[in-house]
Amino acid sequence: MSLFSRLFGGSSAPDPGSKPELYKDFRIFADPVRVAGGFRVSARIEKEIGGETRSHQMVRADTCDSLDTALEMTANKAKMLIDQQGDAIFDR
Q: Render pLDDT for 43-62 as a digit per residue (tens, 0 to 9).
A: 999 999 989 999 999 999 88
What residue ranges do the domains of the chain occupy?
Answer: 29-91
pTM: 0.76
In whole angstroms, give the CA distance from residue 71 to residue 28: 11
Least confident of 1-5, 75-79, 84-88: 1-5
Inter-residue contact 33 to 39 (CB < 8 Å) = yes
**Of the candidates 59, 28, 56, which has an alpha carbon nearest to the alpha carbon of residue 42?**
59
SS3 content of the chain, % helix, strand, coil (to 5): 35, 40, 25
